[in-house]
Every structure is written in C-alpha cells, then in structure tokens.
Amino acid sequence: MGSSFRFLFALFCAVPALSLPASPYEVKESVHPPHGWVQHSAPSPSHGIELRIGLPQPNFGVLETHLYEVSDPDHHRYGQHLSKEEVEELIAPHPDSLDAVNDWLASHGIQEEDVTRSPGKDWVTLKLPVELVEKMLDTKYHVWKHTKTGDYIVRTTSYSLPIHLHEHVDVIQPTTMFGQFKPFRSTISKVEAAPATPAANSLGSLVNPATGLTIDASCNVTITVSCLQQLYNAVGFTPSAKGNSIGITGYLEEFANFADLQQFFAQQVPAAENSSFKVVSVNNGLNNQSDPGFEANLDVQFAFGISHPITPTFFTTGGSPPFIPDDDTPTDTNEPYLNWLDFILSQENIPLSISTSYGDDEQTVPEAFAKRVCADFAQLGARGTSVIFSSGDNGVGDGDSNPATQTCFTNNGRNETKFIPVFPATCPFVTSVGATDNVAPEVAVSSFFSGGGFSNYFSRPPYQDVVVPNYLKTELAPGTFEGLFNPEGRGFPDISAQGDRFEIIVGGQAFLIGGTSASSPTVNGFISLLNDVRLKSGWPALGFLNPFIYKKGFAGFTDILSGHNSGCGTPGFNVTKGWDPVTGFGTPNFGKLKELILEVTGA
C-alpha cells in the first residue's frame, strides 16, 4: 500500500468530512450483473481502488467536426491534423465542472496532491480504499466471481452522486464494469517441423481470381510475411520515408520476445535481421523476456515484419494481477486500455498507426464508459493516428467460443437473446478488422470467428449512411434476425485481412496461430506502408481511416464473396458484394491503395 494511499485511508478513518451545502444523492448508474458473475464476499475495507472520474467534454462536438473534416478525402482540410494542444483545448471540461468535482473531493478529505489529471483535465484518477469509495458513491462493493473462468473482481451494480454533481460527471469507474478484456485469438497449434525458408515453395502457385495475383500454394497451409505481401500486392515495396512510425499495444502480461523476433526475421524477413523495436512501459508494464507471449509475439512479428524498417514501438501496459479475495496487495482497476490512453494522449509524438488485438463483449462495458473511451480514440484520430482494432473471434456471438454453449443473453435483466457486438471495435472512431481464410479466393473465416454486426451503443456514423442501409435492404429479408441486432447501430468490421494459420515463433519454437488478433496487426503493417507513400510524397499520414475507406478507399480492397459469421444458434450475417458485417469492404490491395491515397491531398 503506497504512502499516499495510507494517508488517505488514515484521514478517512480519523477526520470527519468537510461541511458543504447538503445535496441529496441520486442513482447515477445501475446495471444487472452480466451472466456468469456471482457475489462471492465482501472486500476488505482497505482494498485499493483506482477510481477514475470522467468529466463532461462540452466541446466534443467541435472536435468531432474537426476529426471528420481532416479525415474526409473531399474536404479542403484533409490531412490537416490537430496538435496535442488543440485537441486538449477542445476536450477540456467546463470550469464549473472542475470546481464542483474538486469541492466534492475536498469534502471527503481529498486534496489536489492526491489526484492525477489527464492532459485535457477531463479525467481525474485517484487511489482510494474501498470503504471511502463506498461513502463517496453511497454504494456497497462486493467481490464477484466468474463461474466459468474463476476470476474475481471488486464491483458494485449501482452507484449514486449528489444531485448537483450529475451534470458535472459523465462516468465513474471501476464501479459497474464487469468486462473481461481479452485477446482475440482463436487457435494455437505447434508446428513440429517448420520450414527453414518459408519463401521456398514446393507446392506450386495459385492465382487469386479476384485480383489476378500469383501466390505460393503453400500460403493455403501456412501464412507468412511473404504470403501477405503476395496476396495484398506489396511484393518488392520497401518503405524509405523519414518520420514514419508504427505501434503495437500489449496487455495482460503478454510480453514480446526479442530473441523470438530475431528467429522470425531470419526465417521470414532476412532484411530485418538485427533490427528490433522500442519498448515503452505504461502503468509499470513489463516485457519479461523469460515469458514470451503468443499474442504479443504474433502482433510484433507480423506488424513489424511487414512494415520494416519503419520505426516500431511496443507499448506494454501493466494491469492489476487477478484479484484474490483477502489479499490487499493487488489494486482492482479499469480496463487497461484506459491506462494506455491516458499515457499516449499525454505524449507529443505518437505512432502514425497503432493496432490492438483485444476487446470485450460490448454489453459488459457500461455504455457511458464505452462512449468516453471511444471519445479518447477520436482524439488520436484528430491528431493523425490510424487506430485499428480486431473485430472479435466469436461471429455474432458472445465470448464463449463453444457454439454449443453460447447463450447470447442480454444484461438487461430480461435474459433476452441478442447478438453480442464487441467493444472497442464498435467505436465509430476506430477501424475494425475482420478475418479471412484461404488465398485463391479468400473467404470469410468459417470456423466460428470474424466478429461482426451492429453496435447497441453507437449509432450509425455518417460514413456508413449509404452502405449499411443498402446491406440491410438488399441482403436481409424482412424479419431476418428481427430483434437480435440494432439496425441503426454502427456496423463493423470496416475491412478485413487474413486471420488463420499464421506462423510465429514463441520460445524458439514455431506455432500456427489464428484469430482477428492476426488480422489487426496485418492491416497495421500495410497502413504503415501506405503512410510511407504519403510521407514520401510530402503529404500527411492517413490518420483516421474510415471516411477515406468508405468514400474512396473501398476501391482498393478486394471484395470477399463467400462466408458468414455464425453465433447465437444462427448462421449469422452473410458476406455480399460491397460492404458487409462480416468482412467489411474486404482485404487490402496495396498497389491500388497506393494510387488512391496519392489522389487525395486536401488544400
């Protein structure tokens, strides 16, 4: 327990709260516990909680306007991204909100030196004992246990605030959030005898009928960097522009191994041998070289292998270890991507494209919190960074990867059956990536993944106003899946890429791995190459991708015309010509995209 935390706990126990004008409490947020979570016990009164308070952003609408203008290939401001300071000015809370929250904290003995503020002052973070948090929020926390995974968390299902504070606070967490942030990785199998030189092709060649490109037939068995370069029309391209950068986020003690990367490069990207990546620690994140992670190695090996020699960074974000009842050492925190966002938004220089292969079932993340996190991703886009997320691995279903046991129940207390979208992939300010399989032709991955569908939290963004209604009208017969999804919601994914049988090195051994966890870093690598083309021609990086993709860029993607995304006892949605909620617009054709991105220059 840190000294500041001990001081606050002692102060709470010894000093009465300061006197302020009385304001009765009223419930701010209330949820039903998600399926699988049951009350286990009461936490220790001194159990630490890292409380985050989100203050309203009254000018966010202005920021959103800027974001769409600088991302619209037909707008004269295209590519004129905002500075860190300009973004912070636009998301700053009103002084009245700052004062109201500060007074409330002071009434509980909490002073300015006890809190940490985000760069825009729209988030307040403080570490407190649960007993004090219960008093501040007029609530009761419990230890909850997940009946399937055995995980424990400390949460409440309802919290309140003084009435006068409601307009000055958007969200407070961790309170009602029961999410199980996880990597979107579906299959792992050990390769007993991996080829020493994957480029050597003993199986002949195939021609992709959709593109006319020739691909090694071995790519139908094992996906390598060379396979992706062939399939996506980037053979022979070497980036050379200065100032380019690419990032990968790592969470949940997934560590990227340097020795494994060198072995991977020796086999698949010889030109990259003896190069490495920068490690940036967030929230005391580690990169333990004795414990290589499948997810982290997959992400860095393929993203950095495709994009070499563009400057690579691996962000390792520390998260609390699994909470153990009666153990006061761990601090139960929020989803770790908020820790990462706090950090990255405070930096002057951030990678121009960043991918994340993790997420939650949308309904396990409270709507108010999801919308605030999504707004943070909008800040990254406004500053010129492409933010890329995996679309999930369970089709239209929930986090249970076994189709026989998928329930797809809602968390609204009525046990309704509905499709389960995935967050942050449903955030309209990120680019969501689904998964494909095979190479001649590519199809949607059939083995129960390539997450897709429609958000229940986020309405349809303007860039989807044509393609989504067209899909719903032409591809779904009246009444199809009625009541199972929100037809007015943000559709996802936006695009897709290969997502199965990727050969990676972990602990010096070769493995095959799959999931949209593979698709997201793949797209990240190719977006980084496109940024190289832009920068070399004197133009800004692509930034927020979706307005470009939906208006012009779709012509640079290969449409996927076979497959569906099963789940919830249904076949899920079907792929179709054009955009669909399985593979989006399809997979990248680097050669075509390279031409398209040079046609849009702004003023």
The per-residue pLDDT for 408 is 87
Query: pLDDT grade, residue 200 (50/70/90)?
Result: very low
The C-alpha atoms of residue 47 and residue 129 are separated, in whole angstroms, by 5
299 labelled catalytic = yes
Range name among 220-234, 317-331, 458-472, 550-564 with the lowest pLDDT average: 317-331
**DSSP state for residue 5 in the 8-state scheme:** H
Q: At what angle do helices 336-345 and 367-382 cross, to 10 degrees?
A: 30
Query: pLDDT grade, residue 197 (50/70/90)?
Result: very low
What is the arithmetic mean of pLDDT over 358-383? 94
Residue 319 in this model has a pLDDT that exceeds 90:
no
- Give the rounded distance of the alpha carbon of 496 from its chain centre: 15
Query: pLDDT grade, residue 403 (50/70/90)?
Result: low
The C-alpha atoms of residue 125 and residue 105 are separated, in whole angstroms, by 11
pLDDT digits (tens, 9 = 90+) for 487-505: 999 999 999 999 999 999 9
**pTM for the model:** 0.94
- Give 315's strand partners: 249, 280
The C-alpha atoms of residue 107 and residue 41 are separated, in whole angstroms, by 29
The C-alpha atoms of residue 206 and residue 438 are separated, in whole angstroms, by 11
290 labelled catalytic = no
**Which of 597, 492, 497, 584 has its CA nearest to residue 542?**
597
Are 268 and 552 in contact, with CB atoms under 8 Å apart? Answer: no
> What are the distances in angstroms from CA 140 to CA 8, 23, 188, 365?
19, 20, 41, 19
| Helix (H/G/I), strand (E/B), else coil: 25 | strand
CATH of domain 183-597: 3.40.50.200
By DSSP bridging, strand 123-129 and strand 116-117 are: antiparallel
pLDDT digits (tens, 9 = 90+) for 116-159: 999 999 999 999 999 999 999 999 999 999 998 888 899 999 99
pLDDT digits (tens, 9 = 90+) for 78-122: 999 999 999 999 999 999 999 999 999 999 999 999 999 999 999
Q: Any residues with CB less than 8 A from the CB of 161 and at least 6 apart, and which?
A: 25, 26, 28, 137, 138, 169, 172
Are 226 and 264 in contact, with CB atoms under 8 Å apart? Answer: no
| Helix (H/G/I), strand (E/B), else coil: 472 | helix
Which residues of the chain form CATH 3.40.50.200?
183-597
Query: pLDDT grade, residue 201 (50/70/90)?
Result: low
Catalytic residue among 72, 88, 299, 335: 299
What is the arithmetic mean of pLDDT over 438-456? 88
393 labelled catalytic = no
Range name among 44-48, 301-305, 428-432 with the lowest pLDDT average: 44-48
Q: At what angle do helices 516-536 and 294-307 cross, to 10 degrees?
A: 30
Catalytic residue among 295, 360, 437, 532: 295
> Which tokens hold the place of 288?
């333990």
**DSSP state for residue 195 in the 8-state scheme:** -
The per-residue pLDDT for 372 is 96
Catalytic residue among 432, 455, 496, 517: 517
The per-residue pLDDT for 450 is 85
> Which tokens hold the place of 566?
């099963």
User: Three-state SS string across 288-316, please?
Assistant: CCCCECHHHHHHHHHHHHHHCCCEEEEEE
The C-alpha atoms of residue 26 and residue 3 are separated, in whole angstroms, by 33
